[in-house]
Structure 1
Amino acid sequence: MNGSKIFGAIAGTTLSLIAVMGATTGEAKAFTVGGHLNGAEFDALGLEIPWAAESRIGRVGDHEINIHDINNDANNRVQADYDQWVSGKAVDFSLIFDSIANTLIYTVDGIEVSKTEIFEDNFSDLYIRTSARKDDTSMLVDNLFLSDASMSSSIAAVSSASCSGNVGCGYNDADYLHIGDIVGNFTLTGRSTMTWGAIKPNNSNLAYQIKLVEGGGETVDVPEPASLSLLSLSLFGLLAAGKRRKEAGDR
């Protein structure tokens, strides 16, 4: 068997084995970016939100960055003070989920808070909520980039809310950006921009949250070691057979 025939046999066997492995392993779906909801539409979904990461303009001496549970229980919340907001200035943030360490890590402008004992195996959906409840204010979250177990991609969509017209704004005026079909561990990065007029708001009247919805624990399938061994043995066998034929022809 000459070199080209050996190569053809190897390629054919390789493709056949890959096809078999592909047929017996699933392919993880890429995450999706959905539409926008207001507060009432989000509530109508009836979702349970076990955890959320939040940034806000708080009260004097109160925290501005936190990770909290569904009840916002102070005994189960991690938080940090941050009083460096500047109107119109973008601030970088990141949120990391590590299922091995059972940890959420939330970093804002270099300040990190982390929550351990996160027992959810997978978060399938994120809802990024922005709210601006005082007149002449706005809240923007943009420049988003998400990496999970299936892919990494920038996200063109933004979450934004604004309030104007001397009417005040309420809970239902918030904007929820939906990101779905997330697989396994993930890292979300982005930036937030808070803007206000003559009076700086407080008491969470200018804020954003990243709300996490527990998923089904989907994972990315990889070839089993036995399958990889089968592939290696097949290739080795073909090469050995080709070598024996060549040696017989040389004699």
Structure 2
Amino acid sequence: MKLKQTAIALSLTTLGVLFGSTSAEAFTFKGHYSEAEFEALGIEIPWAAETRIGLVGTGEHEINIHDATNSSQNRVQANYDNWVSGQAVDFSLIFDDIAQTLTYTVAGIEISKTNIGVSNFSDLLIRTTARVDGSSMVVDNLFLTDSVMSGAIAANSSAACSGGVGCSYWDSEYLHIGNIVGGFTLTGQSTMTWLDGKKPTRSQLAYQIKLVEGEGDVTVPEPAAISLFSLGLLGLLAKRKQ
């Protein structure tokens, strides 16, 4: 009876080791890239959420979710014309991995794209760009929750244009978050600034949250933990025979 009780206790301890060892790796900040460095990575981006300044008075969209083609047939969009230089604007991006739905909210305006055909996103790349002299684009105060954990991302993505000559498509910055597991919610703030009389339009001042298809890394239990219970029982049986 004593041997049986010890074996049960040992088995429970071993199960604790096994369950404790089987856990998904936490999402991580993986660094910053320039536009050229991002291009060199060759990463495919099936979906993205975007915020920008449209042409005032034209009804042109400022908020959208689009696929790799960015065609109007595969894009959902909304208008927002209340940008204020230097004022932070709240946003959130939610991915429902069961319904395969992306929901993007900026300044309380919500848009959603359903049946996106992707069940897992492993990485987020937040791209900021500023192409008019005296303008800047900052995305910060980031907080991410996935199926494993919740936590703040201390880093930000930012771009600024100065020098009096303007900037180009290549003057952008990417912030990379990896190892995301399952559905997620990303929240943060964006702040656009510009000089009086030099308000940028369209993608001259913008940010995108680019999503990479895939599954987050998973840590597998160590083989030693799997055999721990059997080894323990062998030791107890040998001792009893003695």
Q: TM-score range by the shorter chain?
A: 0.7 to 0.9
Partner of 1:210: 209
Instruction: Report if the CA contact (8 A) 2:96-2:183 is conserved.
Output: yes
Q: Which structure has the larger Rg over C-alpha atoms? A: 1
Partner of 2:42: 46
* TM superposition shift of 1:9: 8.5
Q: How many Å separate the matches in 2 of 1:64 and 1:213?
A: 23
* TM superposition shift of 1:95: 0.3
**AA matched with 1:148:** D
Q: Does 1:55 align with 2:51?
A: yes
Q: Normalised by the size of structure 2, how large is the TM-score? A: 0.83
- The ranges of structure 1 where at least 4 consecutive aligned residues each deviate by more than 6 angstroms after the TM superposition are 7-10, 217-221
**For 2:67, which of 62, 66, 69 is the aligned residue?**
69
Partner of 2:108: 110
Partner of 2:191: 193
Query: What is the aligned residue count?
Result: 217
**For 2:97, which of 76, 96, 99 is the aligned residue?**
99
Secondary structure of the corresponding residue to residue 213 of structure 1: strand
Instruction: Report if the CA contact (8 A) 1:138-1:194 is conserved.
Output: yes
Instruction: Report if the CA contact (8 A) 1:121-1:217 is conserved.
Output: no
Q: How many Å separate the matches in 2 of 1:37 and 1:21?
A: 37
Secondary structure of the corresponding residue to residue 42 of structure 2: coil
Distance 1:73-1:172 versus aligned 2 partners, 3 A rule:
same
* TM superposition shift of 1:218: 6.2
Instruction: Report if the CA contact (8 A) 1:149-1:220 is conserved.
Output: no
- What are the superposed Cα offsets for residues 86-129 of structure 1, whole Å, 9 maximum, x if unpaired? 00000000000001111000000110000001111111111000
- What are the superposed Cα offsets for residues 164-211 of structure 1, whole Å, 9 maximum, x if unpaired? 111111111100000011111010000000000012111221000000
Q: Normalised by the size of structure 1, how large is the TM-score? A: 0.80
Q: How many Å separate the matches in 1 of 2:26 and 2:217?
A: 12
Partner of 1:150: 148
Instruction: Report if the CA contact (8 A) 2:54-2:60 is conserved.
Output: yes
* TM superposition shift of 1:18: 2.0
Partner of 1:166: 164
Partner of 2:83: 85
* TM superposition shift of 1:149: 1.1
Distance 1:20-1:88 versus aligned 2 partners, 3 A rule:
closer
Structure 1 alignment gaps of length 5 or more? 2-6, 222-251
Q: Could you tell me the percent identity over the aligned residues?
A: 65
**AA matched with 1:209:** Q
* TM superposition shift of 1:75: 0.7
Q: How many Å separate the matches in 2 of 1:76 and 1:19?
A: 47
Q: How many Å separate the matches in 1 of 2:112 and 2:63?
A: 11
Superposition pairs of residues 6-45 of structure 1, within 5 angstroms: 12-22=10-20, 26-45=22-41
Instruction: Report if the CA contact (8 A) 2:182-2:215 is conserved.
Output: no
Distance 1:105-1:219 versus aligned 2 partners, 3 A rule:
farther
Q: How many Å separate the matches in 1 of 2:194 and 2:82?
A: 14
Partner of 1:231: none
Structure 2 alignment gaps of length 5 or more? 221-242
Secondary structure of the corresponding residue to residue 17 of structure 2: helix
**AA matched with 1:212:** L
Partner of 1:184: 182
* TM superposition shift of 1:19: 2.6
Secondary structure of the corresponding residue to residue 172 of structure 1: coil
* TM superposition shift of 1:16: 2.8
Instruction: Report if the CA contact (8 A) 1:52-1:212 is conserved.
Output: yes
Q: How many Å separate the matches in 2 of 1:98 and 1:113?
A: 14
Secondary structure of the corresponding residue to residue 163 of structure 2: coil
